[in-house]
Each structure stands twice: as C-alpha cells, then as structure tokens.
Structure 1
C-alpha cells in the first residue's frame, strides 16, 4: 500500500473510532439482554443493524477497511460464522493464526465501535465446503452428522471449547464486544431433533458462552420444529419477503419477544454453469425500512461477501451444483471491497435511522487496482508424469479413506481381461476424466448425473485404465453433507446382462496444497490437451488489487505466491479470480495453475474489473427439449383442487394413496390473471404422510422456465431454498406443468407447496390437477 493511501486510511480509522454512533467501548464491561419487545444494551433499547461478513473470505490486511465500510454504511454490529473445518483441517490440530485469527477480527471490530454476533455452528452452511464441518469426520463410515452420534458430539465439544478459548472472554460482560451467540444453524431445514439442539446449546454454554443471549435461527415455516424455550428465536428470509407474514407465527407464540431477521439475504450466490445472481437494490432497501419502522433488528446477509479462496467453496444438492469462488453475492460491498450503488441506496436509508444528531462517517477509500500485462512464458509439468507414490487397494474407496480431504484423486488399474460395453462409475464425485493408455475416452459430470461412459470399442487385456476425479465442493446443505469424494463405491463394466466389477487399483492422491503443486518437474513447454501443472514468474514495480483473467483456460485451480486463489472453469459465469494486492509483492512473483482439461492458450493477465457474469455453459438451460409437449389426454388425475390465496405452505392429502415414481402438477390458472406460475418449494408426501427424500429427484419435464431475468428453472422447487423459485415465462399461457422423477417408486399420499415469499405471493397457482404414474409420461 502506498504511503498516501496509508495516511488517508489512518485518518479515516481515527474518524471512524470517534464517531457519535451508538458503539461499544474497548475496555468497559457492559450488558446485552433480551427485553420486552426490544433488545437492551446497558439497559437502553437497541435495534441491531448487523452486517454479515466472513473473516476467511477477506485477506487479513483488508479486514479493517471492510469493517470501516460496514460502519460507514450505518451498521452497529458485525455478524460472523466460525468455520470449524478451516480451524481444524486435521483432526486435533487447531489453527487460529493469521487469516484464521477470529479473536483479532473481533478486537478490530471493537476498536471501531462495532459489536459482534458470533455464529459458531458447528454447522454453518454459508455455501462453504461441507457447511463448515471437517472432511475427516467422513473417515468414520457410520458417522451421522448433526445428530446425537457420540463420536460427532465428542468432536463438536472439543472444537467448541477451542472456540471458547478464543472468544468467551470477548463477551460484552467481560469487556469485549460479543453481544449474542448462535446455537447450531437453520437446523429446522435439516431435521427435527430437539435433544440434539439441546446438546449443542449445552456444549456452547460449556465452552464459556454464558453471559450473553443464545439464539437459534430458522425459517418462518420451520422454526418451531426445534425451538428451545430458553433460546431467543430469530427468522431468516430474503429481500421482497412479506415481513408481517414472516413474523406472524413468532409474534403469536412470543408476543413480547424482540424480533430479528437474522439473515436478510441481500443477493444470492453463484453456481458453476448457471447465470450470475443479482437482487434488486430498491427491494432490499424497502424491506429494511419496513423492519426498522417496526423496530425489528436485522443482519444483512451478505453486506460483504468476499471471496471463497482455495478449495473452500461448497455445493448444493439436489441437483448437485458447486459454488463459484467469487462470493460477491451482489452485496452492497463488492467482492473487492468496493462500495456499490446498492451500498449508497442503503446508506441513505440508514442515515435516517442513525442516532439523532450524528452523521455517518465517509466510507474508507478502496484499495488501488492495477493491470498486469499478459503472462505468456510458462513451464509445464504433465500431471501423469508427476504422480506421487501410489497406494494399493483391491476395492474402490472414496478419497477420505486414503486420508485426503480435497483436490483430485487418480484411480488406475490394468485390465486383466478384454472389456466392452458401458463403464459404470458408482458414483462420480464430482468431475471425472477416463483414459485408456493415456488416451481420453470421455468426461463425466456429477452436475448432470453422468455416471456411465459408453466404451465405443473393446479395451484389450493389459490396457491401463485411468479415472481422474476432481473433487469440487462438498455439499453444504441438508442430508447430502455426508458427501464423500472421489469414487464412492465401485466401478463396473456392463455388457448386456453381464456385469463385471473392476478391482485391484493403484491410487494417487493429488491434494491442492502449494507444497504439493510446486514440487513438480517443470520444463519449458506449450499448452497440453491433457491434465498438467503450469508455472510462471512475473515482475511488478508496484502492487495493487487485480483480477486474473482465466478465459483461455479449461478447469482447475490457481496459486499465487503460495496463496490458493480459487477455482476456475471455462463454463462460467466467473471468468476472473480476485487477486488481492496485499498478496503480491514488488519484484518477482510466482503463479502456478493446475488445468485438468487443458487451456486453449497459456495466457493470464490482470484486469481492473472482474468478469463474473459470462456464462459459456453449452447444456440446455431448461428441462424441455425442442418440440416436446406433455400429453395428458389419456391420463386420469389422482387429485384436483384449488390453492388458497396467501403466503406459507399449503398441504394436500389424497383421498387414497397411489403408487408411482413420476409426479405431475398441472396448473390451469392463477390468482394474478396473467400467464405466470411460480413455486418456491415442493414436497411429495409418502406412506407415513411425511415428505419423501428429495435427494435423488430430477425434473423430467417443465413446459416453461424463466431463464432470461434469473435462474428460475423448475429444479428450484426442491433446492431446499425458500427464497429461490420456479417461474414460467410471461408470454406462455396456462396450463403449466412440471413433472418430477422421484428417483424411485413411492406410495404417494399427497403433497405440500410453498408459494413465493413476497406479499400476495406472485404467480400463485389457483386451479390445478395432479397425476402420479409408475412410468414416465408421454411427450
């Protein structure tokens, strides 16, 4: 950072520290309590205006600038998760240093008059690898995560006690700035298990968090499932939601409790192969105004998203979809820490709600940005020529059983007989390339449910068969967090009625650590149409933030000066990687790229603006083939009806059960009088009247899906996210149909439907009919 910027920032820091906003004092003790209809800070009413930020998604040298940006926005509190798997990457080895020094982050917030809400999990979601749970838990075959499993709880307790050592003394009663601590996270979306939530509460208390209110957050549709009497209850929802409807049930159950939206979603996260997500600024600001006018506290998720550096991005399932490295989130403060139009619209509002007579401080200056000329001279180390020592296994096992957490893994066998037919990999987690004697036979993508490869010719005895698997992010939501990587079960060859399982494998672990990728035999060379490592150096006479342009590369990861920057994938929407200037240096810098697919051109330059909205995915955006039309002419509905007006879940029970695998909802009208149909979430009820598992659901057909203005495809009805939704296009008339392949046959007794969360539930279906079949419908 240059001297002028340093001086300017120091002045801003001083101004921020002495501003007249309601704030915490560095060394004085205080109190924070749940009062009658309000929170009480030192016995005075307080509305929490919290900014959600995540310390590992911000380089440590930039923490202060981001904190001051939140303060200048008008926030009085920071809200943050504690990422278990970041702090305990190996079982029993804890790291709270450097960028992991969460206590230092909290103290820095206190220095600038900001309170802190801590969300220590143990599960955090956050679009983070495995929802923050450590991969090594999966080495235990029968582990049951987020349950009363003794092994799991023992490890949770050890972790939470370590967090307590870092943060318990920073509670406000002990002179710190922590005012609330969360117990678990959105557990109602995972299951119903009050004894488990009770155990986590006791573990949190046992770690020393006894002086401030403990709370649990969930959605308005499920917060009572695990609600404990002695915890504060808060609700999570997104921009545009009907505020009164979201808090209606809570106000009925606890009429005198202070209300808080513990996650008000300012934007949304991006997936590889899907359009960049945005949310309207005016709608966000309007929702916050509605809450402030009702004395409702909030935490804006995210106020600043930042970057999911390295291999820490998570994934959704169903259907499997990995997260991009950019966690820009369309938040008011951009990925690189820039103030946006959304920021200033919100700041204008929050100035009106600042303590009387005070003026919000000016935002700190952004860090300088710079271009870097194209880097074109590279050394190359072919992956297959640089393999580590192999491990032998008779049967296929997932990555975790070879003591590997992240990266890629190569399974190799030499065929003992001729094989032909279809290669079936059960299952690919997550992106596979299959080679025979070094020749690429094909690629398989878990996102598309690709687990089989047609062997177009016979592979002869003695052929070396290689299956190279890249592990993308572990699922961070619902039961699929038990997400083992590599090949999870077995490899078979299917030929007619004959099935042969392949055995006797050599396994090569390819972790994503700098120490591993730098220790290769690099030689001058050109782009390879095969997996390879690339290394180059470049010189700088000054440093600044930049965005590494990866548009000519295939798929892989990047390291600069030893820092793992994140993933790239040609399909987009992200085409650049944020490169913080604080990790560059004057003079010589090193860049290493692992490209598993192969680049079109070995060129990287540094841009002054990011590219996070360029989608190059060739797969169809919708679930309807050209010319395909659902034919229900000869089908008999199992149920007909009319949905009620309003928000919230609606449940329908059939007069009698019906067996089937394919479920069709046929909508014939809506309440708005236009062409649009919309559904946020959908459940099919099984024999016991409870929702069947959605883990293996697929959309077999949808007549219409809006993909121009957003990601509103039909799979949104079972993505376990109440703020996303399926929506039809506005120029396609009713009727509208969606057909779900449930994955197997069930005794179906009914279904549940959740409309959009906005007031008056836009696109709410009125009249409908339902069809259930054992086999697929006619198209």
Structure 2
C-alpha cells in the first residue's frame, strides 16, 4: 500500500511540474476553470525568494492602468509588456471610477477590471492588484471619490467610521469582481496590496490593520503586501504582511533594502514601484529620466534575485477630468501620463523599451516574443475651424441661491466649473477682492474681464476698479484635479469661505459679500450637448456668460482612421470631446500642447469635435499631428525664483547653525543650539562633498517639541541658482518626493542660497536634510549656514 501511495504521489507531483501554471516564466493554462482550486501552494513569500507553486519566482512586473488605456487597446499594451520581457501586470483599482456616486457601482465597459485581468491571463501574464482604497497615481483625489467630501468632518485615510464603512463596501465590491481570479482558483492574481505608501501620510497601524482585515475577509487566502519608502516603512509595517520598497531610477539599491534586510534577513526583496520616469505638471518642464540609469537599476536587481514592478511601463493618458494635482501648494498634473516610460503614451516602444528588452532577455531562458502589431496607424488631420456653439452657462446643471457661497461639493458637483454672481455695492475707489478660490478663478464686472486669480500661483487677491451699486460681479471658478498626495487630499473646489472687498482710506473699510447666485457646470459631454441644444433655441438671460467662453464645435470627415494628437496651442484652457469621448484637459501654459486622440474613438466618415474653453480663444482652430508635443511652455514669466529683490541681506545676520554635513546617502539632522522663531528659512550652502552642482532632495524643519512642521504653505522666496531645464527648481526640496531634488546649474558659483517662506512665523529646533538617493549621493551638501528670520 505504501509503495502504491508513493507512486501516486510521484505521479501527481510529475503532473504538477508539467502543468502550465508551474513553469517559472509566465505561461498560464487558459483552459483551467477559475472556480476550481489549484492543488498547490499558490504564490507565497519563501526564504529569500517568492514561491509560485513551490518553485522560486522572480516578479518582473509592468505597471499598467486600465482606465488610462482605451479598452480596445488593452490587449495590445499587455502584449507589449510581455514582449518587453515582463511576466506580471501590476495595476491599481480606482475607487472613484467604480463608485462615481455613493452606492452606484460600475464595473462595466472601460471599468471592467476583471476583463483586464483575464486578458492578462490569456496572454500568459500574472497580475498584482492594488485596490487602495487610496492609490495616489497622480489621479483625481488619489482615487478617493469626491462625494466623501460632502461629509465635511470626514477624516480621510483614518479610522473615521463613515470613511471605513464606505471603504469596506468598496473593497467587498472589488473582491466580488476579482477574488475568484487568484492563482489559488486558477486565475492570474498572485498578490494584493494593503493601502498605499501610507508612511508619507502618517503613522496609524490600527488603520492599516483594519484595511488588511477587510481584504483578508473578502479575498480569502491570497498573499497580502504593503509598500512604502525605505525611510518610513517601519512606521506602519505589519508583521504578517510582505514588505516591499518603492524607489526610482538611479537609486542606491543596496541602501534601499539595507534596513529591510536587517529586520527580515530571510524575506524576499521587491521594489514594488521602480520609477521609470516621472509625471508632468502644468507650467513645468516635461520630466525625463535617463534610459541607461533605469536599465542598470533593473539589471542590478535581477542579478541579485530582487523582484520589481516598473512604474510606469506604459503610463497612458488621464482622460477627461481624471488627472490629479500634487502638494505642497497646488500643482495640477497634465493630461498625458506618458511618464517617460518604455512604452509611450500611444503604445509605441521607446529607447528605454529596446534597452530594457535586451537586458531582460538575459534573464529569460526562452526567446522573448515579437512585438505585437500596433492596433492603429498614426495619422494627421488637416486644420479645421470650430464655431462658437454655446456659452458656458448654457450647460448649467444646477442653479441655487445662498447667503454664503457654496462649494462644488455642496452643490453636488464633482468636476467642472461654478459661476458665482453677486451684485456689488457702490465703491468710488479701487478695492481689493480677496477670495479662497479653488482653483482657477476669472473675475468679471458686467461681463467685462477684470483679471484672474490662480491657485497654482498661490494668488488670493485682485484689485477691482471703482464700482457702481448694482453692477454684477461674476466669478467663474474652474476646478482642476483634486490633490492626490499628502494630507491635502481633502481638497474642496469652488469658493471656500468669505469673499471680501477692502478699501484703505487711512482707515480700512471691508465689505463681506453675501447673497450669491450659483450655477454648476459639469465638464462632461452630456452637459456640452445640453448647452449646444439649448443654444440652438433661445437662450434666457440667466444662460449668458462672457462672450467667447464656452463650447466650440465642428465636424470633420476621415477616409482613414488612426491615432492622432490634437494640437491645442491656439486655445486657452479647458476640455476636448471627440465623438463624445473626453480626451482631457488642455492649458496654453504647457508643457503639454497636444491631446492624444485614440484612433479607436474615431470613425470613417463624419466625426464631431467639441472644445470647452473656459478662457476663450481668438483662433478656434485644431489639427491632428503624428507626434505629441509634451515640452513646450508658454508662460508669462520664468519658473525661477531669482528676483534679486527677494534675496535677503545676510551679511549682518547671525546663523542659528553652522557646520558640515556627512557624506553619503540617508537622512541627516542638524539640531539648533536653541529654538529660533521666524517666517523664513535661509539655507546657505558653501560647498558640496564632491564639487558637483548642489542637490538637495528634501528638507524638513522640527518644532520646539521635535516634531516635523507641516510644509503645506511653504514657497520658495529666492534661489540663486536652479536647473530649470531638468525641473530641479527650489520647490523640489520640499515636494514630499524623495526622488526629486533641487539642483543648481553647472556654471553657478558657490555659495548657493535657498530661501523658503514658511507661510507664517514658526519656532524651529532642528533641520532634517536628505541628499539624492543615487549611489554616493552626488552633489550632497558640505559646509552650511542656516538662518531663521
């Protein structure tokens, strides 16, 4: 009997070895029923390695985001990743696209994440799922739905009862879609992430524990992991989860894993986000990262048996209103999520692709598959002229009157613009209008443009001319993406708080404006169509807004369809819809000047284009070109902070600290002899460790109790040198991103000076400093002097 049992066990073991799910590449048996458990160990963390069905497995994951890729192109992008040499697809699940209104879930069409995972399996790829609830991803509100903000006292990403109730409901719905697709059930999903980079938000293990418990309850026996930066992962690391690190191109890899190796010497290592490039912001240069550095980092990790996920392998596009914004301050992201990734925004291989494919071939026993045929050619479209079709206000979805101005959220408006009207008092002199307006505010008196107030520039005021009683003040407030990173994600849109007029006649007179009319304008195609249909009839007086601000339309015919890039350089600011599809935001300031229009959204014969321009244009023309324009700025002034009038005279000032930083990577702290109070920090850099241009990744200040001070109000007041072409301006020293840095120009002479306006007087006891994360910390600070004044 024993010999018979042994023979049966040997036969079963041989059958398992022969099963397509047990090979160490990424070949999956597509005929296996997903509801039949697999008789093996699934995917687990073993000693020093991950184990897939009991065999060592190195994860080579490509990050893709299904909402950023037209569904018709999903399979092509997955095949491109496989041809690159990857064995896994990594993806976020975006709460706000799946629950656009509370209790109304959508997992159909473009949102069918289960279908995306099945396509991955069909093409021999495993899947890592990251269901948040928060995802960041330069996505509107970090993936959290805007309607959470209708509850004003809500605490996001905390143990707030309402927030946790909604999270649990969402996570259950995600699990309904995906939990039967784990490897244990014959599907492709090998790991599921718990929350996302929580250490950059706070320290709250009870909260992380509850998210973990929700996922375990809904998903069953699947490997759970959490990711963070090497500088903060211990804050929230749970003992029963796999720990992974996030870092970018050029990082010192041994240093990134040093502390994890000390704490868990036998754990498998994984970089769950190896940043291939970076995201772009309106008004700043297009971000790039060297291909050589990216490939060398992946080569080093694979040579040491370290798993990775390349963020992004293909970034795609934040269509419609889904691009988010970054903080401190307010830095909205552009529509393109090209990310300088190996597969560009429209699915074509780049230099990074070919270099990385060559490297990944070294780690594959089989020849990598050929590249798939592009689903569409790239075509141009001749210039066409659009005609003014309807004013902005004709799309009004909701009108209300209120003593106090209401926010978007109070008006049940997720995205779009709000028109605020208020009759003015008689003021015989110029007055100062003061608002807290999110985000881009245009000011009109009797429909005549007076000026704008731009949150990106931290503007809050505008001088108004003398006014007569009864003149109409109109504020058109466009909301851009909600902040997706840091504590500022609780980001309301519209007018927040009082609107005042102030006159200084020796004594100060202040009017607080009350009794507002508000009109909500959603930024979707349905609203555009409503406006144009209404304009075709007779518009009422209430439907009028300043001329030129609103909807423009044209039709055009195509004999051949293909991907194209609509050039929007002649326009102001707004959204574009083609055949009802929202392409995304444009803004004349750049750097992005074209919008990607997928060929699958075009058709032979007649097509429609509608442009919503909240600023207006003098030349309403559009054309389609075969290459994108992602790096063309059209700014009113430079991004540099070198106005000599802002440079402080430090000759007679006494520094609060003088010294020399140590060489090498990692955080350092300078403790002041005694606390100092002031509104400005001046950091004077006398030299660097290696004689190269100065680079500083992050700066924090600590209060009298040793706690880090908030940086939400920080702004650069002066910097004697900034490498603007590399997007290494002074604000990168406090942008919450350890992989970005302030860097001086090659030709700039020492000493260097960075002056930061802290927003208000602060008491400071210490300064924390982080050099660049690359090997040897190039350009790290040597001798320094610190001033607080």
Task: Choose from 728, 731, 734 the match for 2:744.
Answer: 728
- Check whether the contact 2:448–2:546 (CA below 8 A) recurs between aligned residues: no
Deviations, residues 596-615 of structure 1 (Å, cap 9, x unaligned):
11123111111111111111
Instruction: Describe the shift of the 1:285–1:713 C-alpha distance in structure 2 as closer, same or farther (beyond 3 A).
Output: same
Task: Choose from 339, 348, 352 the match for 1:342.
Answer: 352
Secondary structure of residue in 2 paired with 1:490:
coil
* Counterparts of residues 61-210 of structure 1 (less than 5 Å): 61-207=72-218, 209-210=219-220
Deviations, residues 489-538 of structure 1 (Å, cap 9, x unaligned):
121111122222101000000001211111124569xx996312111111
How big is the shift at 1:641?
Answer: 1.3
* Counterparts of residues 632-643 of structure 1 (less than 5 Å): 632-643=650-661
Secondary structure of residue in 1 paired with 2:733:
helix
Task: Choose from 410, 414, 419 the match for 2:419.
Answer: 410
Q: Does 1:261 align with 2:299?
A: no
Question: Following the alignment from structure 1 to structure 2, what is the Cα–Cα distance between the partners of residues 662 and 386?
Answer: 46
Deviations, residues 279-315 of structure 1 (Å, cap 9, x unaligned):
1001000000010011000000000000000000000
* Counterparts of residues 608-623 of structure 1 (less than 5 Å): 608-623=626-641
How big is the shift at 1:416?
Answer: 4.3
Question: Following the alignment from structure 2 to structure 1, what is the Cα–Cα distance between the partners of residues 666 and 428?
Answer: 55
Paired position in structure 2 for 1:590: 608
Aligned residues: CA RMSD: 1.8
Question: Following the alignment from structure 1 to structure 2, what is the Cα–Cα distance between the partners of residues 517 and 402?
Answer: 19
Paired position in structure 2 for 1:11: none
Instruction: Describe the shift of the 1:605–1:659 C-alpha distance in structure 2 as closer, same or farther (beyond 3 A).
Output: same
Paired position in structure 1 for 2:462: 453
Paired position in structure 2 for 1:489: 497
How high is the TM-score relative to the length of structure 1? 0.94
Task: Choose from 233, 250, 266 the match for 1:223.
Answer: 233
Paired position in structure 1 for 2:325: 315
Question: Following the alignment from structure 1 to structure 2, what is the Cα–Cα distance between the partners of residues 344 and 522?
Answer: 52
- Check whether the contact 2:196–2:226 (CA below 8 A) recurs between aligned residues: yes
Task: Choose from 444, 448, 456 the match for 1:439.
Answer: 448
Q: Does 1:474 align with 2:488?
A: no
Instruction: Describe the shift of the 1:761–1:422 C-alpha distance in structure 2 as closer, same or farther (beyond 3 A).
Output: farther
Paired position in structure 2 for 1:363: 371
Deviations, residues 322-365 of structure 1 (Å, cap 9, x unaligned):
101000001000100001111010000000001x2x10001112
Q: Does 1:571 align with 2:589?
A: yes
Question: Following the alignment from structure 1 to structure 2, what is the Cα–Cα distance between the partners of residues 487 and 577?
Answer: 29
Q: Which moved more, 1:440-449 or 1:654-663?
A: 654-663
How big is the shift at 1:542?
Answer: 2.5
- Check whether the contact 1:319–1:715 (CA below 8 A) recurs between aligned residues: no
How big is the shift at 1:618?
Answer: 2.1
Deviations, residues 393-432 of structure 1 (Å, cap 9, x unaligned):
1101211001111011111111244375444443121101
Deviations, residues 543-598 of structure 1 (Å, cap 9, x unaligned):
11111111111110001111111011111111111111111112221111111111
Aligned residues: 750
Secondary structure of residue in 1 paired with 2:115:
helix
Deviations, residues 700-759 of structure 1 (Å, cap 9, x unaligned):
111111113x10001001110111100011111111111111111122111101100001
How big is the shift at 1:688?
Answer: 1.5
Secondary structure of residue in 2 paired with 1:236:
strand
Q: Does 1:687 align with 2:696?
A: no
Instruction: Describe the shift of the 1:389–1:91 C-alpha distance in structure 2 as closer, same or farther (beyond 3 A).
Output: closer
- Check whether the contact 2:388–2:550 (CA below 8 A) recurs between aligned residues: no
- Check whether the contact 1:275–1:615 (CA below 8 A) recurs between aligned residues: yes
How big is the shift at 1:665?
Answer: 1.0
How big is the shift at 1:657?
Answer: 0.9
How big is the shift at 1:21?
Answer: 4.2
Question: Following the alignment from structure 1 to structure 2, what is the Cα–Cα distance between the partners of residues 467 and 578?
Answer: 31
Secondary structure of residue in 1 paired with 2:435:
strand
How high is the TM-score relative to the length of structure 2? 0.93
Q: Which moved more, 1:360-369 or 1:31-40?
A: 360-369
* Counterparts of residues 220-259 of structure 1 (less than 5 Å): 220-259=230-269
Question: Following the alignment from structure 2 to structure 1, what is the Cα–Cα distance between the partners of residues 476 and 332?
Answer: 18
- Check whether the contact 1:419–1:493 (CA below 8 A) recurs between aligned residues: no
* Counterparts of residues 706-717 of structure 1 (less than 5 Å): 706-708=723-725, 710-717=726-733
- Check whether the contact 2:24–2:57 (CA below 8 A) recurs between aligned residues: no
Deviations, residues 95-139 of structure 1 (Å, cap 9, x unaligned):
000010000000000001100000000000000000000000111
- Check whether the contact 1:543–1:581 (CA below 8 A) recurs between aligned residues: yes
User: Which 4+ runs in 1 deviate beyond 6 A?
Assistant: none
Question: Following the alignment from structure 1 to structure 2, what is the Cα–Cα distance between the partners of residues 547 and 178?
Answer: 35
Deviations, residues 667-696 of structure 1 (Å, cap 9, x unaligned):
11111024x111101101012201101001
Paired position in structure 2 for 1:8: none
Q: Which moved more, 1:123-132 or 1:374-383?
A: 374-383
Paired position in structure 1 for 2:773: 757
How big is the shift at 1:642?
Answer: 1.2
Secondary structure of residue in 2 paired with 1:157:
helix
Instruction: Mark the runs of 5 or more structure 1 residues left unpaired by the alignment.
Output: 1-15, 774-779
Q: Does 1:739 align with 2:735?
A: no
Task: Choose from 406, 409, 415 the match for 1:400.
Answer: 409
Question: Following the alignment from structure 1 to structure 2, what is the Cα–Cα distance between the partners of residues 387 and 430?
Answer: 19
Question: Following the alignment from structure 1 to structure 2, what is the Cα–Cα distance between the partners of residues 761 and 411?
Answer: 51
Instruction: Describe the shift of the 1:642–1:389 C-alpha distance in structure 2 as closer, same or farther (beyond 3 A).
Output: closer
Deviations, residues 164-185 of structure 1 (Å, cap 9, x unaligned):
1000111110111100000000
- Check whether the contact 1:529–1:597 (CA below 8 A) recurs between aligned residues: no
Question: Following the alignment from structure 1 to structure 2, what is the Cα–Cα distance between the partners of residues 333 and 618?
Answer: 33
Question: Following the alignment from structure 1 to structure 2, what is the Cα–Cα distance between the partners of residues 414 and 584?
Answer: 46
Task: Choose from 534, 541, 553 the match for 2:552.
Answer: 534
Question: Following the alignment from structure 1 to structure 2, what is the Cα–Cα distance between the partners of residues 389 and 109?
Answer: 43
Instruction: Describe the shift of the 1:628–1:444 C-alpha distance in structure 2 as closer, same or farther (beyond 3 A).
Output: closer
Paired position in structure 2 for 1:351: 361
Instruction: Describe the shift of the 1:614–1:288 C-alpha distance in structure 2 as closer, same or farther (beyond 3 A).
Output: same
How big is the shift at 1:541?
Answer: 2.1
Secondary structure of residue in 1 paired with 2:184:
helix
- Check whether the contact 1:546–1:578 (CA below 8 A) recurs between aligned residues: yes
- Check whether the contact 1:421–1:493 (CA below 8 A) recurs between aligned residues: no
Question: Following the alignment from structure 1 to structure 2, what is the Cα–Cα distance between the partners of residues 152 and 22?
Answer: 38
Question: Following the alignment from structure 1 to structure 2, what is the Cα–Cα distance between the partners of residues 522 and 400?
Answer: 27
- Check whether the contact 1:491–1:502 (CA below 8 A) recurs between aligned residues: yes
Instruction: Describe the shift of the 1:258–1:733 C-alpha distance in structure 2 as closer, same or farther (beyond 3 A).
Output: same
Task: Choose from 37, 53, 57 the match for 1:42.
Answer: 53
Question: Following the alignment from structure 1 to structure 2, what is the Cα–Cα distance between the partners of residues 430 and 473?
Answer: 9
